[in-house]
Structure 1
Amino acid sequence: MADPNARHALYDLACRYAQAVDRRDWAQLTEMFVPDAQLSGPAFMFGDRDAIVAGLRGIERYDTTQHHIHNQLLAFEGNDATAETYCIAQHVYTVDGVKRKLDWGMRYHDRCVFDGSAWRFASRSLLVDWTQDLPLEG
């Protein structure tokens, strides 16, 4: 069985990623990736840490976001780990004066490495399983 501290650290990494994106904390987000990391998703691919952070700044077009991290399955091999992490991502935006909420049911497929001091993302793929876009009331 893998080290329970490593399991906790990797779940924490996924949660801190969600927090950094939602708070637009680009400095914190930068520290979560190795320099040559890759991030891919529907219709995008960023090939290093700087490109990842620059690309994720596109989320600023939303009024607010909340990423809710759920179950996570891990596999370990030495100082490397693979993970599948479920997430519901909520995006609030305004169009023609009407607030709307775009929800994504998604999974992250990650490869993480332990660099001697912390776990970091080496690659992250975002897979969207479903979407829902509705007017937001209240």
Structure 2
Amino acid sequence: MIVSWVDSANAANCPFPLNNLPCGVFTSSDGARHCGMAIGDRIIDLTALEGAAVIALDGGPLLDQPDWSRLMAAGPAVWASLREQITALLQHGSQRRKLVEPHLTVISGAKLHLPFKVAEYTDFYAGRHHAFNVGTM
């Protein structure tokens, strides 16, 4: 497990350690929707970090939207770059901790939203074989 300076992320039962940074959208203190990642019992505000030039992404800005659609369209190389940058920022001993700390929000006090617009839906239950298999369980 990668050790973080965010203490709650290092707990044995933590669902969001530095090795697992789920993406989401939350309403920030300014009332706007921001892109973020969970780390321990906090959310790191990626919209604010990109706006402050703490992180930089090819083709950016990509996180100044109320969802992750633009970043998802940028592709795997950009996704990997984002994860690498965030991991480095949150890792124990990071020299940039002071730049990041103001952009952490307590998860329990945040309003969460869907991270992207759902454009399509596939109902696998509509298939005859799948319906039969489910029915025999």
TM-score when scaled to structure 1? Answer: 0.30
Look at both structures and tell me which one has the larger radius of gyration over its CA atoms.
2
Q: TM-score, normalised by structure 2?
A: 0.31
